[in-house]
Amino acid sequence: MTRPMIAKSKQTLLGAGLLGATLITACSLSIPSEETLFGAAGGGGAGAMSGATAEGGAPDDGNGGRTEGGAGTDAGGKHQGGMGGRPEPTGGAANAGEAGEATGPEAGAGGEPSIVLPPAILLIRYDFDDLTQLTAKDVSGNGNDGVLAGTGGLPIAAQGHINGALKCDGALKQYVQLPNDILDGRQGISVAAWLYLEQATAWDRLFDFNSGESNWFYFSPTGWNPNTMSFGSRVAARTPSALAPEITMAETVSIKTWHHIAVVFAQPFLRYYLDGELKSERDGLSFGPGGLGKTNQNWIGRSVYAADPYLTGMVDDFRVYTGALTAEQVSTLAAQ
């Protein structure tokens, strides 16, 4: 699907939390508020102010979620292992077709009764070690290959955190198309991947699973936090009738280094992990991933909103699990 080019100009914002941050903007408006972006009536205008570039992020101040300091990852650290031979987590993260360890009783917020979440079972794994067939080969054995796409060329292979990686150029609108309907009927979904940002551009996407502007689940490493009026990573999901509690951080995923990202979406929880540590958690979600039904636009590196930028950077070992990864499983994946 070809989308219109967006003309961009440069300006510098000197507002609170943005001192000295250079932005590449599509217009002269300020970053829109969450109400403007995700109003109850529908998916309106998330792209109204996209393309803003933030070099680094402000320290996290909680944003209503539970936070911890994120551990950095050595950008030069390379792990060896051939195709299909990459180190697998020993803490129970599921291999192809195998059930992971049960998540077990999850303590609810405020002393609520324990909740048992569905165990993590590997559905998709792209190691990006071989892109010669112009596909992202699903090495889980489940046959869920992705398709490389772009309007100005296709993503290319690069040295990754673990052997090969996918390299996307946002200017060329490069991304990966995943199979349809990967959320349909799922009680829980967990997404884990290694990410190396070449630049942090407001409203970029690591992934966006959707069927339109009012039905989506995404992670933006450089979203916008309307509470702090600063750049921050964002995890969010919505259906045409419900906007779930979001995670809006006051720090972005830093550029020019490898980081491990993990997101768990299993009703009633939404969790965001950075480099193996829980950064924030929300509970009280009124729906799970199955509530989005059939999604025909499941992407790595591309947003549902036409004006939002494409990802510029590298992705490695991209995994989708049905069910909920445990904290131990996430930590094991991040230790590779």
At 203-259, the pLDDT tens digits run: 999 999 999 999 999 999 999 888 888 899 999 999 998 887 799 999 999 999 999
Extract the tokens encoding 311.
């990802």
Q: Percent of the chain at pLDDT above 70?
A: 66
The per-residue pLDDT for 134 is: 95
- Does residue 121 register a pLDDT over 70? yes
Per-residue model confidence as pLDDT tens digits over 78-106: 333 333 334 444 334 444 333 333 344 44
Cβ(250)–Cβ(58) below 8 Å: yes
Q: What is the dihedral of CA 176, 182, 186, 192, to 10 degrees?
A: -20
Average pLDDT, the chain: 76
Nearest to 269 by CA among 91, 64, 107: 107
Spatial CB neighbours of 42, under 8 Å, sequence gap ≥ 6: 213, 214, 240
The per-residue pLDDT for 107 is: 46
Cβ(67)–Cβ(225) below 8 Å: no
Cβ(189)–Cβ(267) below 8 Å: no
The per-residue pLDDT for 225 is: 87
Name the amino acid, one letter, at 115. Answer: I
- DSSP secondary structure of 97-154: T-BPPP--EEPPGGGPPPEEPPBPEEEEEE--S--TTSEE-BTTSS---EEEEESSS-
Q: Which residues of 50-61 are buried (b: 16+ CB within 10 A; e: fewer)?
A: bbbbbeebbebb
E-only strand ranges, 211-268: 216-225, 230-239, 242-243, 247-248, 258-266
Per-residue model confidence as pLDDT tens digits over 25-71: 322 224 543 334 444 333 333 333 344 555 444 333 334 333 333 33
The per-residue pLDDT for 48 is: 34
> What phi and psi, each to the nearest 5 degrees, are found at residue 201?
-120, 125
Residues 115-142: what's their mean pLDDT?
A: 97
Nearest to 272 by CA among 283, 262, 282: 262
Integer Cα distance of 209 and 284 in angstroms = 21
- Does residue 309 register a pLDDT over 50? yes
The per-residue pLDDT for 41 is: 34
Q: Percent of the chain at pLDDT above 90?
A: 62
Strands 188-197 and 258-266, how do they pair?
antiparallel
- Does residue 20 register a pLDDT over 50? no
Return the higher-pLDDT residue of 83 and 267.
Answer: 267
Structural domains of the chain, ranges and CATH numbers in brackets:
9-58+108-334 (2.60.120.200)
Cβ(44)–Cβ(37) below 8 Å: yes
- Does residue 73 register a pLDDT over 80? no
Residues 175-195: what's their mean pLDDT?
A: 97
Q: Is 168 helix (H, G, I), strand (E, B) or coil?
A: strand
pLDDT band at 325 (very low <50, low <70, confident <90, very high): very high
Cβ(114)–Cβ(106) below 8 Å: yes
- Does residue 10 register a pLDDT over 70? no
Separation of CA 62 from chain center: 19
Residues 106-110: what's their mean pLDDT?
A: 48
Least confident interval from 52-56, 143-147, 222-226, 277-281 = 52-56
- Does residue 322 register a pLDDT over 70? yes
Integer Cα distance of 51 and 65 in angstroms = 26
Which pTM was predicted? 0.74
Least confident interval from 14-18, 102-106, 125-129 = 14-18
- DSSP secondary structure of 273-300: EETTEEEEEE---S--GGGG---SEEEE
pLDDT band at 113 (very low <50, low <70, confident <90, very high): low
- Does residue 150 register a pLDDT over 50? yes
